[in-house]
Amino acid sequence: MFDYDVMIIGGGVAGAASARELSRYKVKACVIEKEEDVCCGTSKANSAIVHAGYDAAEGSLMAKLNVRGNQMMEELSRELDFPFKKNGSLVICLHEEDMPSLQTLYDRGVVNGVKELRILNKEEVLEMEPNISDNVYAALYAPTAGIVCPFSLNIALAENANVNGVEFKFDTEVEDIKRIDGGYKLMTNRGVYQTKCIVNAAGVYADKIHNMVSEKRIHITARRGDYCLLDKSAGGHVSKTIFALPGKYGKGVLVTPTIHGNLLVGPTAIDVEDKEGTNTTREGLDLLIEKAGMNVRNLPMRQVITSFSGLRAHEDDHEFIIGEAEGAEGFIDCAGIESPGLTSCPAIGEMVADIVSKKLGLQKKEDFIATRKGVLDPSTLTKEARAVLMKEKPAYGNIICRCEMVTEGEILDAIHRPLGARSLDGVKRRTRAGMGRCQAGFCSPRTMEILARECNMSMFDITKSGGNSKIVVGTNKDTL
Amino acid sequence: MKQYDIVIIGGGPAGLAAAVSAKKNGVDSILILERDKELGGILNQCIHNGFGLHTFKEELTGPEYAGRFIDQAAKLDIEYKLNTMVMDIRADKVLTAMNREDGLFEIQAKAIILAMGCRERSRGALNIPGYRPAGIFSAGTAQRLVNMEGCLPGREVVILGSGDIGLIMARRMTFEGAKVKVVAELMPYSGGLKRNIVQCLDDYGIPLKLSHTVVDIKGKERLEGITLAEVDSKGRPVPGTEEYYSCDTLLLSVGLIPENELSNGMGVEMNPVTSGPKVNESLETNIEGVFACGNVLHVHDLVDFVSEEAAAAGKNAAVYVKTGVGKRSGGHDIVLKAVDGVRYTVPVTINPEHMEDSITVRFRVGNVYRDCYVSAYFGEERVIHRKRQIVAPGEMEEIKLTKEQLMQYADLQEITVKIE
């Protein structure tokens, strides 16, 4: 009578990591996602940082999973072939009187199990990062911090779960959940499903989902963070992730190179009512530009190529809620996953899978496929290997996105792989086509043509990101 | 490795005119590398008329204008490769390029002409706040969708920026059945040609709001509306002036940026004002034998002037190939300085020994000036003083200098171009 052993609500990093870890077991599992693709909420718009682990309170679940996730990330990036780099981070202290706060971070890091932490003096900081403000007094250096491609991480986890048998249902929104004997009934816009277990990885909506089944309410606030992304020509401005020390000027913003060589500045922190309220504001953007300049000098803000905002799923107690919800057997929360959620996701997946497998008494599979290959980036090949590839598949000789030098071959790969791209944003997150300095001006009509051809869609059905986000609305003169 | 005397990057109007001119000036070994599927560049999507008034003394559409040069290139047997992306150019003039047929290949050139054109500034570059729904296009992208694909990007349109493409698209969208509600321009003057304001907006009753910008974008999936506000003299929105427009489409025509990633990669020195290479009287960059012309050098208003400039670059490249390296001895460089309302000049230096009998110096002004003079000072002496009723940033200006004139000033170090 049950459609699934477990249904995971949400295809962000927490849901995808849980799905991937669960797919190690003999289990009938399904991820349901209200958007048209994985990685459409908090997971797609964040700082893309792999935190070292000195921020979260000692003894908290957040601290434990952060440090564990950080330790797992490198190995995972090799297994699942997504870009990750340990570039290290600096927390900048500008004033001598703030040194106790820096020391607190250091001490907390040590307690949390963060390795190799060091406090650097001004000279050491400036030698390491010449573009740090001259006002720097000291900094906390964490060599274990890193940067990751959040899209690739999320997509890799989901693809690997899918290859290992987890189903994915997109454009499927949970409307209600009812308790039934031995499990739950999920009412969605696309039908009713019965499942023994539920994993609630619904991001900013995790409170809404949780409160459908549990008397003990939780509350998640959507906390918006605005970001500016700068051109790759500015990507070398700093080499490490530069954090501000929270001090008398409030919480600062970070400046970091991205894994693809851009420079990222942000985020702000503004609580919003609307759980879809991902609109940037003038005040937010102005504020972050002002704050970023305090720690890093001569930021080339004229080189901004885009700005965006993401919503953190902030739980009232600022702690991850992972475990069976009170009074709701078999309903496993994976809620309050805000920073360091991206870092922690491998460990979150492990923990969720452990809980669910024990609950259902699952057995491990013998034929689990632990590795996955990402979309092949021909620029990573030797000239000879690239020449061979182009001979076999001429589409790799056809550049579609000029700014990021993305070939038709990569776009075809992104469309035809498991959980392939169906929209411009889907292609963009998998290949970077449209993510460069012209922001899809040149390539979007060409990518649309490829999508239409390969997916047997009409140009009029192509969307930016599913739903009603159609790119074109009709043909010339169709109303005349 | 294949070798060519002249390799031209870009088969748009600049690259074509440069190729034709180089061939006519005696160089046979020429190759054009074009990244699109046909020659002609952006002209192929510019199906409106108004091209060629200077060059051909008649009014042509963009594809017709391009066709004239494509025909000439064909008659002259000029070699070209389509769908070919140049990945990298080294300072020793070895190019790495790629296409479906040849894969990755290298070419050694004696001379290179940079003719890559420009791209449009995006919403991101303006940092306009709000949501990021579908329905926001650069004017050129919308132009391609309408004119090349037959697809209508939207039905109710607001246009930000009064650059020429934006103005042309206001008219085009109207032709195709869309309602263009307003064109907003951040500056107190239009960035486009006067004739385009008249023929594309005024003739269709489309309002132009100067000193206005978009301050918010609404719509989570598809655009639902935008908020316009008036801006003060520093370009900051004035609170209380916000006005909401419902629309499903926002077109941006907010500036063009020369595409100089390849030039930067090979070490060509740039002018920060134009974002194009610094060139001398021969349109030659700081790297000997590397020339630039068209919108990659500085953004033009009229393709006729692109063709003229590119023909000069082609000829100079031909002369360079025939005379060989090191011919540039003798004489000295006169530096052109742009001051008092003049933002830049192309070229930035002139060596009278190497110039043709006359040279056109092109420049743009930074503001609208009425009843003014365009002046050129040779050292302290005012030599050119031309009365103008109006000069504006949207219209490129020029002065002509002759070799004879410059030769009279033996030790001249500097020419200053200014608005008085």
Average pLDDT for B308-319: 96
C-alpha B14/C-alpha A20 separation (Å) is 53
* Chain A neighbors of B100, CB-CB under 8 A: 390, 394-395, 397-398
CATH hierarchy code of domain B122-254: 3.50.50.60
CA A32 to chain centre: 17
Q: How confident is the model at residue A248 (pLDDT cuts 50, 70, 90)?
A: low
**A42 pLDDT above the threshold of 80:** yes
Q: Which of B234, B226, B229 is nearest to B210 (CA)?
A: B229
Radius of gyration of chain A (CA): 23
**Terminal-to-terminal C-alpha distance of chain A:** 55
pLDDT (0 to 100) of residue A47: 96
CB atoms within 10 A of CB A174: 22
Distance CA B249, CA B222 (A): 8
Q: What is d(CA A286, CA A302) in angstroms, rounded to the nearest whole number?
A: 13
pLDDT classification of B193: cutoffs 50, 70, 90: confident
A-contacting residues in B 285-324 (Cβ below 8 Å): none
Using one digit for the tens of pLDDT, what is the confidence trace for A396-455?
A: 999 999 999 999 999 999 999 999 999 999 999 999 999 999 999 999 999 999 999 999
Break chain B into its structural domains and give their ranges.
Answer: 1-120+255-328, 122-254, 330-420
- Residue A115: exposure state from Cβ atoms within 10 A (0-12, 13-18, ≥19): middle
What angle, rounded to 10 degrees, do the helices at A424-431 and A443-455 form? 100
Note whether A397 contacts B104, CB cutoff 8 Å.
Answer: yes
Residues 6+ apart with CB under 8 A from A81: A156, A371, A372, A373, A374
Question: Model confidence over A182-237: pLDDT tens digits?
Answer: 999 999 999 999 999 999 999 999 999 999 999 999 999 999 999 999 999 999 99
Task: Please give, rounded to a whole number of angstroms, the shortest distance from the CA of A365 to a CA of chain B.
Answer: 41
Burial of A26 (0-12, 13-18, 19+ CB in 10 A): middle
CB-CB neighbours of B289 under 10 Å: 20
Residue A102: is its pLDDT beyond 90?
Answer: yes
The predicted model gives B35-54 an average pLDDT of 95
CA distance B237 to B240: 9
Residue B397, phi then psi, degrees to nearest 5: -110, 165
Which pLDDT value is given to residue B222?
Answer: 98
What is the pLDDT averaged over residues A118-147? 97
CATH architecture of B1-120+255-328: 3-Layer(bba) Sandwich (3.50)
The pTM of the full predicted model, rounded to 2 decimals, is 0.94
Q: Kindly report the average pLDDT of chain A as a whole number.
A: 96
Average pLDDT over residues A121-137: 97
Tell me what the pLDDT averaged over chain B comes to: 95
Report the alpha-carbon distance of residue A315 to residue A327 in Å, rounded. Answer: 20
What is the pLDDT, as a whole number, of residue B326?
Answer: 58
Distance from CA of B130 to the nearest CA of A (A): 4
Q: What percent of chain B has pLDDT over 70?
A: 99
Q: Check: CATH 3.90.1170.10 for A1-83+147-218+316-374?
A: no
Q: Which residue among B124, B152, B222 places its CB closest to the CB of A306? A: B124
List the structure tokens of B372.
Answer: 């003014």
If you count them, how many residues does chain B have? 420
Residues of chain B contacting residue A272, judged by C-beta atoms under 8 Å apart: none
Separation CA B89–CA B50 (nearest Å): 35
Question: How many other C-beta atoms are found inside a 10 Å radius of the C-beta of residue A453?
Answer: 12
The Cα–Cα gap between A42 and A310 comes to 6
Which residues of chain B make contact with A409, given a CB cutoff of 8 A? none
Cβ separation A397–B99 shorter than 8 A = yes
Give the confidence band of A325 by pLDDT, cuts at 50, 70, 90: very high
B221/A394 CB distance under 8 A: no
Given a cut of 80, whether residue A251 has pLDDT beyond it is: no
- From the list A397, A438, A469, the residue facing B122 with the nearest CB is A438
3-state SS string for chain A: CCCEEEEEECCCHHHHHHHHHHCCECCCEEEECCCCCCCCCHHHCCCCEECCCCCCCCCCHHHHHHHHHHHHHHHHHHHHCCCEECCCEEEEECCHHHHHHHHHHHHHHHHHCCCCCEEEEHHHHHHHCCCECCCCCEEEEECCCEEECHHHHHHHHHHHHHHCCCEEECCCCEEEEEEECCEEEEEECCEEEEEEEEEECCHHHHHHHHHCCCCCCCCEEEEEEEEEEECHHHCCCCCCEEEECCECCECCCEEEECCCCCEEEECCCEEECCCCCCCECHHHHHHHHHHHHHHECCCCHHHEEEEEEEEEEEECCCCCEEEECCCCCCEEEEECCCCCHHHHHHHHHHHHHHHHHHHHCCCECCCCCCCCCCCCCHHHCCHHHHHHHHHHCHHHHCEEECCCCEEHHHHHHHHHCCCCCCCHHHHHHHHCCCCCCCCCCCHHHHHHHHHHHHHCCCHHHCECCCCCCECCCEECCCCC
ipTM above 0.90 for this complex: yes
Buried b (16+ CB within 10 A) or exposed e, B29-44: bbbbbbbbeebbbbbb
| Torsion sign over Cα A127, A128, A134, A136 | negative
> B124: pLDDT confidence band, cut at 50, 70 and 90?
confident
The pLDDT-based confidence of B127 (bands split at 50, 70, 90) is confident
Decide: helix, strand or coil at residue B286: coil
- Check residue B32 and report its DSSP letter: E
For residue B20, pLDDT over 70 is answered with yes
DSSP type of residue B228: E
Positive or negative CA dihedral for A150, A151, A153, A154? Answer: positive
| Per-residue confidence (pLDDT) for residue A347, from 0 to 100 | 98
Between positions 371 and 390 of A, the ones with CB within 8 A of B are 383, 386-387, 390
- For residue range B141-167, list pLDDT tens digits in order: 999 999 999 999 999 999 999 989 999
Q: Same topology for domains B1-120+255-328 and B122-254, yes or no? A: yes
Phi, psi of A20 (to 5 degrees): -65, -45
pLDDT of residue B410: 82
Model pLDDT for residues B389-403, shown as the tens digit of each residue: 999 998 999 999 999
Can you tell me the distance from the alpha carbon of B77 to that of A109, in angstroms, rounded to the nearest whole number?
70
pLDDT digits (tens, 9 = 90+) for A344-359: 999 999 999 999 999 9
Kindly state whether B220 is in contact with chain A, defined as any CB-CB distance less than 8 angstroms.
yes
CATH annotation of A89-143+221-314 = 3.30.9.10
pLDDT of amino acid B325: 61
- Categorize the per-residue pLDDT at B327 as very low, low, confident or very high, splitting at 50, 70 and 90: low
Res B330 pLDDT > 80: no
Residue B331 has pLDDT above 80, yes or no: no
Give CA–CA dist B200/B206, Å, rounded.
8
Report, as an integer, the average pLDDT of A64-93: 98
Instruction: Return residues 404-463 of A near B (CB < 8 Å).
Output: 405, 437-442, 444-445, 449, 459-460, 463
B123–A278: do the CB atoms touch at under 8 Å?
no
- Our answer to whether residue A51 is catalytic in this structure is yes
Alpha-carbon gap: A411 to the closest alpha carbon of chain B (Å): 15
Query: Do strands B270-271 and B290-292 pair parallel, antiparallel, or not at all (unpaired)?
Result: unpaired
Q: Does domain A378-461 have CATH number 1.10.10?
A: yes
Domain boundaries along the sequence of chain A = 1-83+147-218+316-374, 89-143+221-314, 378-461
In chain A, % of residues over pLDDT 70: 99
